[in-house]
Amino acid sequence: MASGGFMGETADEHDQDETGERVEDIVDRLRQLRAADQQRRKHAEAGVVLDQLDAVEERLLAFGRALGGDPDDVAALPFTEEAGRDGMAEPLYVRHDRTLLNQVTSWLLQRQHIGLISGYGTGKTAFREILKRDLGRRDDFVVAHVDNPRETTPRGLYETVLRGAAEAGFEIDPGNYWQVRDGIPWATAETKQAVQEIAEDARAEDVTLLLVVDEIEDLPSDLLSAIQIAGDAGVRLFLSGTPAGKERLQDVKATLDSRLRYYEGIDPFDVEDIAEYIARSLAHFRGEAYDGESPDLFEPTAIADIHERTGGNPRDVRLECRELFTRAAFVWHRTGQDVERIRITPELRHRRFGMGR
């Protein structure tokens, strides 16, 4: 019997369209096209963001150059400094809390253990940077600083003290230890012994060996024990943190807490301090010396508004200044005015605009 209709077609022949393509091939091709389209969309969206980042960066840098600076990236613009990143520049430090300066320096001269307690963003890190630099210049101080206290081991803390002392010329006697590598005993128990040896040598030469540790509220218990051991060995301690850090010292190491002289609560910036900070930051950006004059660019009303918004918290002041500086750059770009005519006022904060022209 003769076949009729599609009875004689194979499955592959049945799944082909008029162009000869199989259905599976068409489906696969559609999936590939859809995936490629989604990838293009993803790249296009990323491109828009990246293009905008490039445009904003260039306009911020152009504004900075118009103000008299020579920035090569946005991190060089005013109000972008971070005190703990590469060390705070001396010209930017506002010595606003004279009581703090007088009290802490007197305790340092008396070789007291010191605890600096204050909230976040109040200037502890900036003060620590000044302390490290200024005391590091003196022959009667050796300053060691734990860079990452939350991830430092007791041995790492002892090693920090020993390396700081070695840079100042105080080295251990290798014959007193079982194994020494690069001037540091290998065993933790021996590094602890070495800290005592070095502290005694420094004291014999009337040199204060100072260990600076911050973020004490987050330190593990074994590191607090190591800090106390270093203090017992003759190392002077400068510990800083929040009020929670002081409570932790009281709860975990009461004997250490009882030997610390505490300074609590750094004074916030007042309006004059904020004006000084702004003037210092702009002068530093231009490569000029701070001359004690009121800042340009910021109107007095804007400075007063910053104080009201931040309560004088130094970190928040910096962030507010950076935000207003950025907005001023946008206005300058959009209006095309001479940079001398750009003034930062409180109203600038409420202005809405984009970066397009």
Tens of pLDDT, residue by residue over 225-248, are 999 999 999 999 999 999 999 998
Strand partners, 113: 260
Residue type, 148: N
Confidence of residue 48 (pLDDT cuts 50, 70, 90): low
Q: Do 99 and 267 contact (CB within 8 A), yes or no? A: yes
pLDDT the model gives residue 41: 59
* Cβ neighbours, 10 Å, residue 255: 10
Residue 316's closest CA among 127, 156, 120? Answer: 120
**pLDDT tens across 257-277, in order?**
788 999 999 999 999 999 999
CATH number 3.30.1280.10 given to 97-264 = no
The pTM of this model reads 0.78
**pLDDT tens across 311-357, in order?**
999 999 999 999 999 999 999 999 999 999 999 999 988 765 444 44
**pLDDT tens across 128-177, in order?**
888 888 898 899 999 999 988 888 999 999 999 999 999 999 999 999 99
Distance CA 245, CA 224 (A): 11
What DSSP element (H or E) covers 129? helix 124-136
User: Domain boundaries in the chain?
Assistant: 59-83+270-350, 97-264
Residue 140's closest CA among 106, 159, 168, 161? Answer: 168
Q: Do 97 and 267 contact (CB within 8 A), yes or no? A: yes
Mean pLDDT (whole number) for 3-25: 43
Confidence of residue 29 (pLDDT cuts 50, 70, 90): low
Query: 120: which DSSP letter?
Result: T
Mean pLDDT (whole number) for 190-210: 95
What DSSP element (H or E) covers 330? helix 314-335
Q: Virtual CA dihedral for 121, 124, 126, 132, nearest 10 degrees? A: -160
